Structure 1
Amino acid sequence: MMNGKLHAAEHLPNAEDLLNPFVHRLELSTTYDKIKTGVLTVAVLPFRVAAIMVLLVLAWLLACVGLLGLSEDDLRSRPMTGWRRNARAVICCVMRGLFLCGGFHWVTVKGKQATAKEAPVLALAPHSSYFDALPVVYLGAPSIVAKGETGHLPFFGKLINYTQPVYVWREDPNSRQNTIKEIIERATSDLDWPQVLIFPEGTCTNRSCLITFKPGAFYPGVPVQPVCLRYPNKLDTVTWTWEGPGALKLLWLTLTQVHSSCVIEFLPVYHPNEDEKRDPKLYANNVRKLMARALGIPMSDYTYDDCRLITRAKRLNIPGAAGLLEVQKLRGRLGLVNSDAEEKILSEHRHLFSKDGGKISYKQFAKLLGIEPSDGHLQQLFCLYDKESSGVIDVREYIFEVLVISKAKKTSDIIPIVFQVFGSGEDGSLSQSDLPGVLQHTLGMAPMEVAQLCSHLDKTGKAHISHDELTKFLQHKSDCTGLFSSNQWNLKNSLSTECLLSTGSSKTE
């Protein structure tokens, strides 16, 4: 999305002012970076990978030995003692060596880590990568909050089990309550439990802001030590979020840097007052404010639930899925989420859709939605669709995206909405001239696929295509069968559920 502006008489806020913490762009933009990456891929990468594998296997073997004779109930009922507890420090040393071999030569620790008695809970933010396992290791491998299935992951499962984690079981309807109960029991126990570590954001972001903290870590009402994370590298190869480079690309680029840096800053222990003890959400928000000031970044009211919107949009193959977050947030602030304003526009102002290709001005947009033009949130919403900074938008794009998010359950449900919004023929069909732009925007079809469809239409001599004709064509095109699969999901997001939790974040907290 580009900045949106009206004419000089009416200046609207920049779309860039709307932070989207779930997008990360990473490209090797200079010739130097490309050459350096190529050389290090050949000269350094194989040795780093070999060293990492050796150390990972060694850490796994130590964890296997340390867990001998212990059942799952043993791990949950009492903390490790004696040689088993001492082995934790040895495993942490091996894992530090693993990250050192991976290029993390500069790990700066600021402040001092509190003891478990001083602060039973550690709250780490911002959470932005599976590389956040590095600060977990440097903190002495405290008990993390993780999804139950991660305990069975190859190699990493044993290492996670050795932290005596607080497991979350998705299939258990009482999982959330049980997780909170276990955190409270450990935090208030007289036994020498390790600190409980949690990433209160619950998902990865690009570190541009702190999103809403989930309150699970704050329910016990005990002191919490906030821990701020930074990766001050020239090229950000660690951020792994919902829209951006995949896990393997990030791993490759990180291992082909000369060195990488990480800063771990311990803030003073936060002691809750009586109001915060009674209200975990207030407690969580106040800790977030403290951490945002320390990091020098703003706060945002995005939550993990917003990631579900991105996931759904990706399953539906909607281009620019992460951009829908801003749209939905602004619609919420404008009171449009539970209204039928957009459907009324579609039914009562249909003539605008065929006039000038659906182009309308900001004043027309405000009038259609029944909102005062002076409303700043409406101005920001308009900016998101003013892609050419022309002072006008294609209202059809806005209506289409709103209807898809509210009505479509699977990708094939989008096609009727396409015809409903973009159809121009008397029977609601799509004109051949409009077809390329519409299909690329709505279904994310590649230009080659669109060209094949248009070539097919040229042979038939038709100027328009109906709903049934388009559906039939797509279903018989092997290149487009993915459009009709409700199970399609970006690989990175599938891995996200596993790996984010394995580094300590809880998505069901």
Structure 2
Amino acid sequence: MELEHLFIPTVVLGSSDKIRSTLPIEGLNSSSWMRKLVEMMCSVFVASWTGVIKYHGPRPSTRPHQVFVANHTSMIDFIILEQMTAFAVIMQKHPGWVGFIQKTILESVGCIWFNRNDLKDREVVAKKLRDHVQHPDNNPLLIFPEGTCVNNQYTVMFKKGAFELGCAVCPIAIKYNKIFVDAFWNSKKQSFTMHLVRLMTSWAVVCDVWYLEPQYLRDGETAIEFAERVRDMIAARAGLKKVPWDGYLKHNRPSPKHTEEKQRIFADSVLRRLEES
């Protein structure tokens, strides 16, 4: 039976219509306290936007050999998901106050940072991911396999790293309603600070979150095919259009050699059509 939770803006309602307290309780160990504090901090952020967040499906559980993947519209995706469950997220290192929060607060829940421009960092991060999912005491691991923010109308190609861990993949579909504000963060045009200011000065941030059924690698299925199957599920549930683009092209220009090869293929096709006509 599907459970639904509605966040407006600092109270989470469950299927029993009882208020779930976000404050730590006695008897929790230090890691549990830290998880509750991070969840509460994220709830405060959501309240500052007058967030109206509706959660569908069972709340994620803490168990080994699983990873959660979601489509990506803004860094606030992490905050919206984190207020319900203290995920350990894999995230790009950031400067400024965001970097300060990463180092001083988010590392306490096991978050993993990477540098997109450091090729050696990929191997280190891949090892950390494999190690993380093996331990039952670690917080659930959350990955945004698109690798970049997309405008919540499309979904770009998923990176295969999350689908090569040999564990259950739990899809999460996120869909924002633009009725009051567009939650897409265009990092090329706006800093994250100004993005938050825009959200805080809007009427409300309205969003639906669906926790979908866990998926497993099928016999004979490659990691890329697995990633596409999960992307199909998320796109269908959130009403997103799939496009065959690599999201990293937003950050890195394609090499001249690759561009010239595409131009040559296009020129050859034009010449063939001219010869046939």
If the length of structure 2 is used for normalisation, what is the TM-score?
0.75
Q: Which of 251, 268, 271 is the matching residue for 1:370?
A: 271
Please say if 1:88 is aligned against 2:88. Answer: no
Please say if 1:98 is aligned against 2:41. Answer: no
Identity of aligned pairs, percent? Answer: 17
How far residue 137 of structure 1 moved from its aligned partner, in angstroms, is 1.8
Please say if 1:153 is aligned against 2:99. Answer: yes
Runs (5+) with no aligned partner, structure 1: 1-80, 313-327, 343-365, 374-509
**Normalized per residue, which structure has more helix?**
1
How far residue 93 of structure 1 moved from its aligned partner, in angstroms, is 1.6
Q: CA RMSD in A?
A: 3.2
Whether the aligned pair in 2 keeps the contact of 1:119 and 1:195 (CA below 8 Å) is no
Runs (5+) with no aligned partner, structure 2: 1-27
How far residue 149 of structure 1 moved from its aligned partner, in angstroms, is 5.9
Q: Which of 229, 232, 236 is the matching residue for 1:293?
A: 236
Please say if 1:108 is aligned against 2:79. Answer: no
How far residue 232 of structure 1 moved from its aligned partner, in angstroms, is 1.0
Counterpart Cα distance in 1 of 2:232 and 2:94: 33
SS of the residue 2:198 aligns to: helix
Q: Which of 198, 203, 217 is the matching residue for 1:272?
A: 217
Distance 1:234 1:201, change over 3 A: same
Distance 1:164 1:290, change over 3 A: same
Q: Which of 124, 128, 137 is the matching residue for 1:178?
A: 124
Please say if 1:167 is aligned against 2:68. Answer: no
Counterpart Cα distance in 1 of 2:45 and 2:60: 25
SS of the residue 1:226 aligns to: strand
SS of the residue 1:236 aligns to: coil
Counterpart Cα distance in 1 of 2:132 and 2:197: 39
Counterpart Cα distance in 2 of 1:297 and 1:264: 14
Whether the aligned pair in 2 keeps the contact of 1:103 and 1:260 (CA below 8 Å) is yes
How far residue 197 of structure 1 moved from its aligned partner, in angstroms, is 0.5
Counterpart Cα distance in 2 of 1:118 and 1:193: 8
SS of the residue 1:95 aligns to: helix
| Structure-to-structure mapping, 1:36-55, within 5 angstroms | none
Amino acid aligned to 1:228: A
Counterpart Cα distance in 2 of 1:193 and 1:208: 33
1:241-262 superposed Cα distances (whole Å, 9 cap, x missing partner):
2565554554333222222212
Distance 1:291 1:341, change over 3 A: closer
Counterpart Cα distance in 1 of 2:124 and 2:266: 42
**Normalized per residue, which structure has more strand?**
2
1:193-244 superposed Cα distances (whole Å, 9 cap, x missing partner):
1111110100011012110000111111211110011111314332112565
SS of the residue 2:152 aligns to: coil
Counterpart Cα distance in 2 of 1:110 and 1:119: 23
Counterpart Cα distance in 2 of 1:98 and 1:252: 11
| Structure-to-structure mapping, 1:389-404, within 5 angstroms | none
Counterpart Cα distance in 1 of 2:219 and 2:143: 22
If the length of structure 1 is used for normalisation, what is the TM-score?
0.43
